[in-house]
Structure 1
Amino acid sequence: MSKDKELKEKVLKAQQEGDIASLYVLEQQAHDTFDEDALQGFYANILDLAFERLTQTLEEHTKMDMNEVQDFATLRALYEYAIEHYSAGKTQDAAALFEVLSGLSNDEKFSAALKLHWMAAQEKISFDDFLDKIADIEATQRAGTFYISEFQSEAQKLLDNLKYKGKKA
């Protein structure tokens, strides 16, 4: 069996099982093997599964557990989707996604970080300015999180400014 066919079977099996984590394990192989169209489909399937899990979590009034592999992978997929919107200049869409994500996890550090993302997008701070002035990318890389988790002192100014304006974080 060819590597391409074998990979497609693994991807299909993971999709049928709703196994987002396994799809992320196969991500590098997909990049090395699939053409651009197939790769777009690969990520679309991850996102579809993530939205199914999001809907289920919201309907059950529960929170996702960052220590549970499928919840972790779901949060990652939804975060990457929100970042795509933010980097494309769709600040309102990104803000809405960040707001939902900030309340979706039982991980306090993740929730607090996403609130900063949400506020920055809500204030229409460009993604580039967010990266340059609010996020601390080097510290985030050292922390090893899939999301921007470390911030510069400018982030506190954003919080203070919003409190001054009477907006709730």
Structure 2
Amino acid sequence: MNEVEKLKQEVLQAQQNSDIASLYVLEQRAHDTFDENTLQGFYMNILDIALERLTNTLEANRVMDMNEVQDFATLRALYEYAIEHYSAGKLHDASALFEVLSGLCNDKKFSSALKFHWIAAKEEISLDDFLSEIADVDATQNAGTFYISCFNTKAQKLLDNSKTDAE
């Protein structure tokens, strides 16, 4: 069995097991091995599993545990999906996803960070402006999180203004 067939078999096994974490482990090899169409399908499978896990989590009325590997991978996939929407200018969809994600996890830092994302998208701040004016991208890179987790002082003003508007 050649490398491509072996990788496809591993991906199929992970998909059949709804093992989103294993798919992320295989991600770099998929990038190095698959053509663009196959790679697109690979990411669609991750998203399908993540959306299924989201539905199951909501139906079970539970929160995801950032320390549990499948929940962590699911949150990552859903965050990446929300960022895709944000990047594509689908601000309403991105805002809704960020809102759901902010309440979906037991990790306070993740939930707090997602509130900034949610409000920025809701306030129709573009992703470029969010990254340049609200997020602290350098600090986030140093933090080693899969999500934008560090923000500058303008972020707190955004949050404060949002609370004022809601009152």
State the shift of 1:162 in Å: 1.3
State the shift of 1:148 in Å: 0.2
Q: Which amino acid aligns with 1:73?
A: A
Q: Tell me the distance in 2 between the aligned counterparts of 1:133 and 1:154.
A: 7
Alignment of 1:2 with 2:2, yes or no, is yes
Give the equivalent residue in structure 1 for 2:144. 144
For structure 2, the residue ranges without an aligned partner over 5 or more in a row are none
- Say how many residue pairs are matched: 167
For structure 1, the residue ranges without an aligned partner over 5 or more in a row are none
Give the equivalent residue in structure 2 for 1:113. 113
RMSD: 0.7
Give the equivalent residue in structure 2 for 1:52. 52
Alignment of 1:4-43 (within 5 A): 4-43=4-43
SS for the counterpart of 2:51 is: helix
Q: Tell me the distance in 2 between the aligned counterparts of 1:33 and 1:23.
A: 14
Give the equivalent residue in structure 2 for 1:93. 93
State the shift of 1:164 in Å: 2.2
Q: Which amino acid aligns with 1:151?
A: F
Give the equivalent residue in structure 2 for 1:131. 131
Alignment of 1:122 with 2:131, yes or no, is no
Q: Which amino acid aligns with 1:5?
A: E
Q: Which amino acid aligns with 2:26?
A: L
* TM-score, normalised relative to structure 1: 0.97
Q: Tell me the distance in 1 between the aligned counterparts of 2:97 and 2:155.
A: 19
Give the equivalent residue in structure 1 for 2:102. 102
* TM-score, normalised relative to structure 2: 0.99
Structure 1 segments (4+ residues) deviating >6 Å: none
Q: Tell me the distance in 2 between the aligned counterparts of 1:155 and 1:132.
A: 11
Give the equivalent residue in structure 2 for 1:74. 74
Give the equivalent residue in structure 1 for 2:83. 83
SS for the counterpart of 1:106 is: coil
Give the equivalent residue in structure 1 for 2:61. 61
